[in-house]
Amino acid sequence: MVELRLIGFDVLRKVRMPRKTGGGFLKVPVALREDATPFVRDYRAIPHQLTLGATLSGKSMFLRHLIAGLARQRVALVGIDCKRGVELAPFAPRLSALATDPVQAAELLPVLVGLMEDRYDLIKTRQGIAPSTPDEEITSDIWGLPEDERPVPVVLLVDEVAELFLVATRKDEERRDEMVTQLIRLAQLGRAAGIYLEVCGQRFGAELGKGATMLRAQLTGRVCHRVNDEASAKMALGDIAPEAVGAACAIAPERPGLAVAGDTSGGWSRIRPPHLSLADAAAICRDHAHLVPDLPALKPFRPDMPAVPVSAPTSLLKPLPAVE
Ligand SMILES: Nc1ncnc2c1ncn2[C@@H]1O[C@H](COP(=O)(O)OP(=O)(O)OP(=O)(O)O)[C@@H](O)[C@H]1O
């Protein structure tokens, strides 16, 4: 096996990093395969993805690469991180919205569904307009809209998805059921509206509750880091690339970041992202804060900006002039 750790950003840098809407738009080179070719997360080819792994397996590092890659593009980034935002808050300057607990998530998700429905209305309106040129095709998604009418794509990042499913009371249960229904709708219909899901967690099986397996079936891109048992690897890969389950179970704890990526073609590969520090990823988000698109519906959910760290503390005391 090629030592994935030794191959770094140089290979990934060679992959085109688009800033606006060119050919590589919505593609993020995020890791390297064993044969040293880049593994590229391509949202238009595989709209929704599920990334699973035990604690300390490398999920955050993987997500960090995705965010750093998307931050440079004309995309709205929306986060749900019910671990009080500890994973996603460092990227706040580049986030259009952030929910840090299930109550906020329950407010944010219907807004995203509303955004999706508005985009469907826009597509329908355009279908009713006579084509301006003979070769203009009827569109069924945002990509066929004229560029000046096309809404900005939205990537919804959900960290530790199980937190959304946990319930203690009957009221929690109702809220959970609504959120799961909204996530399933976004996964079923989001692609045409340019809304993509990136879901991460430790496990994602039927034991999470109603709707979990239905939602998982819609997340057709799969990345499985080291897991604690075969059942977890099967949750990630069993339904799409069963032969990859054994490879995922063989990932050793001393190789954090190593993962098995599969998709509905049945193909799979071992991948590993290069190391990217949280500080560097957060700096990329700060540097690209001006790319946060104007989406009025999401304004109430815009996160507070973390204070920019200063390199050295400044003394407020003025030194007295030295007197001989
Ligand atoms: N590709 C990688 N190369 C080198 N080190 C890595 C890689 N991925 C992860 N690590 C290291 O492994 C440790 C755990 O990684 P990470 O925080 O991404 O795991 P995690 O699955 O998100 O854990 P948790 O669920 O507990 O948050 C970190 O110290 C990180 O620096």
* Residue 58 located in a structural domain: yes
Q: What's the total number of domains in the chain?
A: 1
Asked if 68 contacts 284 with a C-beta cutoff of 8 angstroms, the reply is yes
* Residue 44 located in a structural domain: yes
* Residue 7 located in a structural domain: no
**53 within ligand 1 shell (Cβ under 6 A):** yes
What is the ipTM, given to two decimal places?
0.97
Both tokens assigned to 133? 């040129």
What is the arithmetic mean of pLDDT over 240-257? 94
Q: Which residues are annotated as a binding site?
A: 53-60
**93 within ligand 1 shell (Cβ under 6 A):** no
Rounded distance between C-alpha atoms, residue 33 and residue 314, angstroms: 46
Q: What is the pLDDT of residue 26?
A: 95
Kindly tell me if the per-residue pLDDT of 309 is higher than 80.
no
Rounded distance between C-alpha atoms, residue 216 and residue 231, angstroms: 15
What is the arithmetic mean of pLDDT over 254-265? 92
Q: Which domain holds residue 297?
A: 27-301
Kindly tell me if the per-residue pLDDT of 310 is higher than 50.
no
Distance 109 CA to ligand 1 centre (A): 28
Rounded distance between C-alpha atoms, residue 240 and residue 220, angstroms: 8
Q: What is the pLDDT of residue 308?
A: 57
Distance 41 CA to ligand 1 centre (A): 19
Q: What is the pLDDT of residue 126?
A: 86
**57 within ligand 1 shell (Cβ under 6 A):** yes
Express each pLDDT in 20-77 by its tens digit.
Answer: 455 679 999 999 999 999 999 999 999 999 999 999 999 999 999 999 999 999 999 9
* Residue 310 located in a structural domain: no
Going by alpha carbons, the residue nearest to atom 7 of ligand 1 is: 257
Rounded distance between C-alpha atoms, residue 190 and residue 220, angstroms: 13
What value, to the nearest 5°, has the Cα angle with vertex 279 and ends 278 and 281? Answer: 65
Express each pLDDT in 119-138 by its tens digit.
Answer: 999 999 988 776 666 666 77
Q: What is the DSSP letter of 234?
A: I
* Residue 6 located in a structural domain: no
**59 within ligand 1 shell (Cβ under 6 A):** yes
Task: Give residue 19's pLDDT band: very low, low, confident or very high (50, 70, 90).
Answer: very low
Both tokens assigned to 49? 């993805």
**Taking all residues of the chain, what is their mean pLDDT, rounded to a whole number?**
88
Distance 142 CA to ligand 1 centre (A): 36
Going by alpha carbons, the residue nearest to atom 4 of ligand 1 is: 275
Distance 57 CA to ligand 1 centre (A): 6
Q: What is the DSSP letter of 160?
A: S
Express each pLDDT in 143-153 by its tens digit.
Answer: 999 899 999 99
* Residue 11 located in a structural domain: no
CATH number for the domain including 112?
A: 3.40.50.300
Pick from 5, 32, 60 the residue to mutate for probing ligand 1's pocket: most ligand atoms within 8 Å of its CB.
Answer: 60
Distance 113 CA to ligand 1 centre (A): 32
Rounded distance between C-alpha atoms, residue 183 and residue 162, angstroms: 13
* Residue 120 located in a structural domain: yes
Pick from 61, 157, 224, 255 the residue to mutate for probing ligand 1's pocket: most ligand atoms within 8 Å of its CB.
Answer: 61
* Residue 12 located in a structural domain: no
What is the arithmetic mean of pLDDT over 204-208? 85
What is the arithmetic mean of pLDDT over 91-113? 97
Kindly tell me if the per-residue pLDDT of 166 is higher than 80.
yes
Kindly tell me if the per-residue pLDDT of 102 is higher than 60.
yes
Asked if 51 contacts 225 with a C-beta cutoff of 8 angstroms, the reply is yes
